[in-house]
A = this chain, B = another copy of it.
Amino acid sequence: MTQQKISMQLQCPMPAFDFDVITLGHGSGGLLTRKLLESGVFEIFNNPFLNEKHDGAYLNLPGNCAFTTDSFVVSPIFFPGGNIGELAVNGTVNDLAMCGAIPKYLSLSFILEEGLRMEEFWEILVSIKTACQKAGVHIVTGDTKVVEKGKGDKIFINTSGIGQLHPASSIRLNRIKAGDKIILNGNIATHGIAIMSVREGLTFESDIISDTMALNETVMALLDEFGQQIHFLRDPTRGGVATTLSEIARDGGVGIEIVEKYLPIDEQVAGACEILGLDPVYVANEGVFISIVDEKIADKYLTTLKGLEQGKNAAIIGEVVIAHPKQVVLTSKIGGKRVVNMLAGDQLPRIC
């Protein structure tokens, strides 16, 4: 057990549940569900919305909002640098941030497999709480289902979220225009390689840990300063930077050019990609976001971003062009150019 995990458990010691594992009865909606929730789950997320204990939460929402959903099925559920719980919070928080919204309220829905150990479940719950606190969001409504052993895989989590649009944000595909610069905040391919290293039993000189983190504070600071000059934001999770840029090019009807040598990547991660035969532009990220900004502010944007903890490895990696609409062209390290498509097949199943 890592030091971090121990300290988290010290803050939220596991209650004395009178069962060691999840059983089907915990999903019955009856006494056992209630026992599970009242033994500590309600308490750990304690807030006035949840405490109403109704079928939903009453919220006063401020007009312009964003609404998003994600189900998380990552395997293994514990991985270097995190677990499925914080991943689920950060993932939905980041989707809201990418809409230019200040994340506010999350729902939390579990599909548990019979036999899940309460220790594991509790550790995940504590991570969810910690991640919510870091991101400044509340779990306001939830649901718990249980499926028979062999009909699930330990735990699947859905988080849906509501955020309040930042007043200065205007993030839409149709705002992307030729000349816009494409900027990454940090190193790519880290999450995917962290997961793969566990699955493949690889070891490295120093640990490669997932970059799962909430990006909302950084994004809001950028929106405060640059407002509508930020034309588009998206976090390249499943499918990596290449797939996300391909989607943006297709859906936005624009051409995109990127330069391989500008892509920030940790040396060890790059090495691992080589060993595993993976192209890092297709490998999943959890703490990376792509900004597409007006060329006039690009240098200043980069400077601001580099001054923030989550942007210290930031780089301008390319631009939006008039040529080859709907296509992404990458200039490789040896100077050749190739079209970059979406990820084909299933390079890394269940990465998030």
Contacts and interface: CB of A to CB of B under 8 A. Distances in A.
Interface of A: 23-25, 27-34, 52-73, 75, 94-96, 98-99, 101, 105, 107-111, 140-143, 145-148, 150-153, 156, 158, 160-163, 165, 171-173, 234-235, 237-239, 243, 247, 251, 282, 284, 341-350
Classify the secondary structure of A's interface with B: mixed
Given A54-B98, A67-B59, A147 B30 contact: no
B111 A111 contact: yes
Contacts of A99: 54-56, 58
B57 A67 contact: yes
Interface-central residue, A34, A140, A251, by most chain B CB under 10 Å: A34
A346 to B, nearest CB: 4
B345 A32 contact: yes
B107 A30 contact: no
Contacts of A247: 34, 53
A109 B73 contact: no
A58 B66 contact: yes
Contacts of A111: 71, 73, 111, 156
Contacts of A243: 29-31
A9 B47 CA distance: 45
A189 to B, nearest CB: 14
B109 A55 contact: no
Contact of A98 (B56, B57, B95): B56
Interface-central residue, A29, A53, A173, A243, by most chain B CB under 10 Å: A29
A288 to B, nearest CB: 13
B342 A30 contact: yes
Contacts of A24: 346, 349
Contacts of A69: 107-109, 141-143, 158, 160
B30 A238 contact: yes
